Amino acid sequence: MNLFSKTAAELLELLKNRDISAREIVTSVFNRIESVDSKVNAFAQTDKESALKQADAIDKKRSAGEPLGMLAGIPVALKDNLCRTGYRTSCGSKILSSYKAVYNATVVQKLITADAVFIGNANMDEFAMGSSCERSIYGATHNPWNISCAPGGSSGGSAAAVAADETILALGSDTGGSIRQPASFCGIVGLKPTYGLVSRFGLIAYASSLDQIGPLTKDVYDSALLLENISGYDPSDSTSIKQNPFSYTSTLKESIKGLRIGIPQEYFIGGLDSEVASHIQSAIKLLAECGAEIIDISLPHTEYAVATYYIIATAEASSNLARFDGVRYGYRTEESSDLHDMYFKTRSEGFGDEVKRRILLGTYVLSSGYYDAYYKKAQQVRTLICRDFENAFQKVDCIITPTAPSPAFKISEKIDDPLTMYLSDIFTISVNLAGLPGISIPCGFSSSRLPIGMQIIGKPLGEQTILRCAYTFERNTPFRTMKPTLE
């Protein structure tokens, strides 16, 4: 078996026994990238030379008997919005196309401490605004299961790279479903942690009250392992939760007997693909057979989540993206008559259409005379959505829903219809609004051989519970071993 197709846990075992070296893993992963990435286009950039150097340093440490980090020698891909000193961090945008980060994101620093090997930056929708990974200066990423389909977004490059075995681990960011929806489309595991569990320092902001960094991995164990290595309190992020480190891998194997799983009726409505519905129902049945108690619940404000999200997220984005004005970073227009003209031209030339659309929408809902009608109203509905979950979690320990209303759609199918594209995040958005953890794991395949994802939502800081539930499901189903045929 090729090293590139293994999980981090499998490779760590081989490394520990000195059966393989970090250099061999990195070489194997780059061979894979060279053979399939022309079809997938998962990366914004890769750096083989630097990755081999990092691997050699780790191999040397190992031979010298020096202490090693928990991910020593394991390749990881970063989403193109995570800062790593000296490397281009462009958010898939022309406006940052020449920007090189001048400091490490906290998650990057933690991965350096863990001795992980950085192989490159994964492609993404520009500024994480999209659900298809088509809106990037690096071109569209393709779904490894069917290259005419989108991998989902915005962390589509991270998800496709993991699914195509072009990396072992990847990090993404999730503002309205941007880790979980691509994980669902690509048949892998994607976890959005509780808001505040993972530091956002060094993540280029889209919507600060919703953004959260999380792992995209080949299985649930690796997800827990990567979360363990990136979570924890960070004084550089004022929204970081003061929490002691937790070993998520150590509680995965505990039984789910008696676990109360809520099924919200509002997620099984018209518009849900019938194959998705039937696979989720089978998954729920399997979890019941494993000892879980299945309880019907209601999340009555679900239908208002997308509208709430597109007011709050665009309002925050219009403010966050005001800093890109051609003065301090990246791109500046060639010619301008004065400062004002330079701002207008730089922003108009540097941002793509979807980013402009969201900045306009966000600016409008915050503008004089509309603030109460839109922004304040959305924040009030956000309270109602949070209360729905608080009430549900009185009765249950976690909640199961489909991750997305359909399997992967075709590339360019929804690109001209923003509202339809926004509605593809309908099942993931509420989780961000309420700041909860959510994981997507594969639960079946459609008749056209496209993966289907199941979402497990937890209480605040309930990662341990959702990972345990996901692990039990994974170990009782064959989906973890299934791979796309890209050759």
Out of 5, 35, 45, 363, point to the residue binding another protein (CB under 8 A).
363
45 binds another protein per the rule CB under 8 A: no
Rounded CA Rg of the chain: 21
Exactly one of 93, 173, 178, 184 is catalytic; which is it?
A: 178
Rounded CA-CA distance 231/246 in Å is 9
For the question of residue 154 being annotated catalytic, the response is yes
Which residues between 117 and 176 bind another protein (CB under 8 A)?
none
Q: Residues 119, 2, 15, CA angle at the centre, nearest 5°? A: 70
241 binds another protein per the rule CB under 8 A: yes
367 binds another protein per the rule CB under 8 A: yes
Out of 39, 61, 260, 356, point to the residue binding another protein (CB under 8 A).
356
Which residues between 423 and 482 bind another protein (CB under 8 A)?
433-435
Q: In the complex with another protein, which residue's Cβ is closer, 260 or 377? A: 377
* DSSP H/E element including 430: helix 429-433
The site map against another protein for 376-415 (x = CB under 8 A) is xxxxxxxxx-x-----------------------------
Give yes or no for a contact between 381 and 99, defined as CB atoms under 8 angstroms apart: no
Span of 10-18, 225-233, 303-311, 450-458 interacting with another protein by CB under 8 A: 303-311
DSSP state, residue 414 = S
For the question of residue 5 being annotated catalytic, the response is no
Taking alpha carbons only, the member of 453, 479, 457, 481 closest to residue 467 is 457
* DSSP H/E element including 286: helix 274-289
DSSP state, residue 67 = -
Rounded CA-CA distance 195/197 in Å is 6
Rounded CA-CA distance 87/257 in Å is 47
487 binds another protein per the rule CB under 8 A: no
Taking alpha carbons only, the member of 194, 178, 69 closest to residue 122 is 178
Exactly one of 28, 136, 154, 158 is catalytic; which is it?
A: 154
Rounded CA-CA distance 100/367 in Å is 33
Q: In the complex with another protein, which residue's Cβ is closer, 217 or 318? A: 318
The residues of the shown chain that bind another protein, judged by CB under 8 A, are 85, 98-100, 102-103, 195-196, 209, 235, 238-239, 241, 301, 303-304, 306-308, 310-311, 318, 322, 325-332, 336-339, 341-345, 347-348, 351, 353, 356-357, 359-361, 363-364, 367, 374, 376-384, 386, 418-419, 422, 433-435
Q: Which residues are catalytic?
A: 79, 154, 178
